[in-house]
Structure 1
Amino acid sequence: MSGDIVLSAGVRANLLQLQKTSDLITATQTKLATGKRVNSALDNPVNYFTAQGLQNRAGDLSNLLDSMSSAFNTIQAANNGITSITKLVQSAQALVSQAQQTSDTTVRAGLSTQFDQILSQITQLAGDSGFNGINLLDKNNSTDLTVTLNERGTSSVTIAAVDFSATGLVINNSTNNWSTTSDITAASTDLTTALTTLRSQAQAFGSNLSTVQIRQDFTKAMINTLQTGADSLTLADSNEEGANLLALQTRQQLSTTALSLASQASQAVLRLFG
């Protein structure tokens, strides 16, 4: 068309080079601004989607880490409860021992009353040993605790709730105000059995705590590995990109100069008609 502007080959070549350099500068500035050399699938499809997969898995593991932390605290709360209940049982044993050493029915009656109060405290303490709605010492009012250990849900550990109220530990209230030796002996037997049960369960909870903590530490290390791997695929080297930007800006200046020279060469033709 008669209205079209015709550029010389030199001007067109220099203009194209200037546009390419400008695009490279914009891309480099983006890398420096975001800190990443791969910001989209257009930059590097393999690295971008691989990094996305690693970051997604790290995110899934982070969610599991929160769940494991809650489970750890739940088990710890139950373990704290067992420790305190054990102390109460030992206090009850001291009362039984005192009762066995006297034949005074009045003294025995007083010790019997204290014994029943301790049993009440054992039941209340067991009911107060929950965390986040789960109480491993109050089976009647709570549920078992299942902890998922990997993002696929193929690894888990279940901690069964127990009944560690005085009734659950099979510690019977004192009968007949401990007026007979057989009543006191029965209480002593109940307490000895309860202590054995408490210690056994404390070992089980300790093992569960250790398992969950080991998996917590492993999960934290795995998250760090995944994030490091994703970063290595996408993060930019600020020093390298800074050097690239400086080189591109220099090239841009040279291209602008070349474009100017090419334009001057075209203008020289006009002087022939001057």
Structure 2
Amino acid sequence: MSFSVNTNAGALAALQNLNKTSTSLDVTQTRINTGLKVSSVKDNAAVYSIAQTLRGNVAGLNAVNNSLDRARSVVDVALAAAEATSDLLIEMRELAVAGSDAGLDADSRTAMSEKYTQLRDQIESIVNNATFNGRNVADGTNAISAITDDNGTSTISIAASDLTLSTLSLEDSNLITYGAALPSGTPVSLAGTTIAASSDSEFRAALVNAQTDNGGNFGGETIDGSTGVTTNNVGGTPTVEFEEGLKTYLGLTGADYSSGRVDGYAYDVTFSGSTSLYLVRDGASSYLTLGNPAGGGSADSSAASEQAVTAIDAAIDSVNTTLSTLGATANRLDIQKQFAGQLSDGIEVGIGNLVDADLAKESATLQAIQTKQQLGLQALSIANQAPSTVLSLFR
């Protein structure tokens, strides 16, 4: 054994071990402080990279939840509007059925019609205000979608549901007058014959074909296929003979038919008291279109109430279909949100399995390392005392 005051091998060894212990202590303390066994890429590059990818997936699912929440809110508002509309239609139907009583006096029918009109207009107000975050599914203006995956590539689409009065064919509905305006282009079927005016030219062509099939004219009147203008055999204003000819072509007979004229241009063919086809010549443009000018009737008649019952029944069916669609969509959104939450939780657990520290284990490790550190300090102290033994050789 050699003695040297320049080199203390024991102290160097003790210092190396003490440094390793201090490094281990730093790692353990970091894990305890952060709760993570992999808190940076230096701890484990591969695991850290996987964890970061999974964290990105979780962030994407957070966006999915936000999108689903927004869509669910829009649908909730639309559902509320549809339910309110359904309730109002039921109340309107009650009034319409009551108004169909021929024994009602004019004042009572007028009062009922005023209430009916207020309920009808309230539907439009509800539908127009069924907006959430600038989106309205109930008035047909907005279709929306919600993302369902963390890439934003998969969506649930929600089609617009139009509950406006015009779509429900109740825009001019009341309990006093009947024959309210129909939208231009509405197909009307009479006696098995459909004339669909999806465009002016198609409507004119349909009339020309009807005239040809009838032997070239209707009661001596002719139709200009390029303009749709009708004239009688002396070139004057179209006469009721045109109506009679059209009635014959459509197969309408007896009480199934009534004629009327509005401003000299409109022809009213009524089938079974409810279905109407109006042929209206536009004086400004001189062509025929499919339309329905404001009809007649009076407060003494139950015809408008009877017509309203039919229209409301159709509207109730339409609203019920919308309610079913919106309800199913809301349920699907709820299911998707629940799944997205479960998926996010599952990924979070997976990340935890990769990077979370076992704090019970780390606590035991800390105690052991602290003890090793104290022992290392003692060993270094003993090793540092070794060179002083050389002095005893020179006494």
TM range (shorter): over 0.9
Per the alignment, residue 11 of structure 1 pairs with 11
CA RMSD of aligned residues (A): 1.5
Which range moves more in the overlay, 151-160 or 65-74? 151-160
Per the alignment, residue 51 of structure 2 pairs with 51
Per the alignment, residue 98 of structure 2 pairs with 98
Per the alignment, residue 21 of structure 1 pairs with 21
Paired positions, count: 268
Shift of 1:128: 2.0
Superposition pairs for residues 214-253 of structure 1, below 5 Å? Answer: 214-253=335-374
Are 1:86 and 2:86 counterparts?
yes
Structure number having the greater helix percentage: 1
Query: SS at the partner of 1:272?
Result: helix
Q: Is the 8 A contact 1:86 1:198 kept in 2?
A: yes
Which range moves more in the overlay, 42-51 or 196-205? 42-51
Per the alignment, residue 133 of structure 1 pairs with 134
Q: Percent identity?
A: 28
Aligned partners of 2:143, 2:119: CA distance in 1, in Å?
Answer: 27
Per the alignment, residue 168 of structure 2 pairs with 169
Which range moves more in the overlay, 79-88 or 151-160? 151-160
Q: Is the 8 A contact 1:124 1:165 kept in 2?
A: no
Unaligned runs of 5+ in 2: 178-296
Kindly report structure 1 stretches of 4+ aligned residues shifted beyond 6 Å. Answer: none
Q: Is the 8 A contact 2:100 2:303 kept in 1?
A: no
Per the alignment, residue 303 of structure 2 pairs with 182
Per the alignment, residue 111 of structure 1 pairs with 112
Query: SS at the partner of 1:158?
Result: strand
Which range moves more in the overlay, 58-67 or 151-160? 151-160
Which range moves more in the overlay, 205-214 or 97-106? 97-106
Aligned partners of 2:299, 2:122: CA distance in 1, in Å?
Answer: 20
Report 1 or 2 for greater relative contact order, CA contacts < 8 Å, sequence distance ≥ 6.
Answer: 1
Aligned partners of 1:48, 1:6: CA distance in 2, in Å?
Answer: 46
Calculate the TM-score normalised by the size of structure 1: 0.93
Aligned partners of 1:256, 1:177: CA distance in 2, in Å?
Answer: 110
Amino acid at match of 1:24: S
Q: Of residues 324, 328, 347 in structure 2, which corresponds to 1:203?
A: 324
Which range moves more in the overlay, 143-152 or 223-232? 143-152
Per the alignment, residue 65 of structure 1 pairs with 65
Aligned partners of 2:149, 2:299: CA distance in 1, in Å?
Answer: 55
Per the alignment, residue 156 of structure 1 pairs with 155
Calculate the TM-score normalised by the size of structure 2: 0.65
Aligned partners of 2:304, 2:79: CA distance in 1, in Å?
Answer: 31
Amino acid at match of 2:129: D
Q: Is the 8 A contact 1:92 1:118 kept in 2?
A: yes
Query: SS at the partner of 1:147?
Result: strand
Query: SS at the partner of 1:221?
Result: helix
Shift of 1:78: 0.7
Aligned partners of 2:357, 2:77: CA distance in 1, in Å?
Answer: 46
Distance 1:191 1:178, change over 3 A: farther
Query: SS at the partner of 1:26?
Result: helix
Per the alignment, residue 270 of structure 1 pairs with 391
* Larger Rg, first or second structure (1 or 2): 2
* C-alpha distance after superposition, 1:157-192 (max 9, x if no partner): 211112212222111332245542322221111100
Per the alignment, residue 124 of structure 1 pairs with 125
Unaligned runs of 5+ in 1: none
Shift of 1:6: 4.0
Aligned partners of 1:202, 1:260: CA distance in 2, in Å?
Answer: 84
Aligned partners of 1:6, 1:118: CA distance in 2, in Å?
Answer: 106
Q: Of residues 314, 328, 336 in structure 2, which corresponds to 1:193?
A: 314
Amino acid at match of 2:363: G
Q: Of residues 377, 384, 393 in structure 2, which corresponds to 1:256?
A: 377
* C-alpha distance after superposition, 1:198-250 (max 9, x if no partner): 00111111111111111101000000000010011111111111111111111
Distance 1:49 1:209, change over 3 A: same
Query: SS at the partner of 2:394?
Result: coil
Shift of 1:77: 1.2
Structure number having the greater strand percentage: 2
Distance 1:178 1:17, change over 3 A: farther
Aligned partners of 2:376, 2:345: CA distance in 1, in Å?
Answer: 45
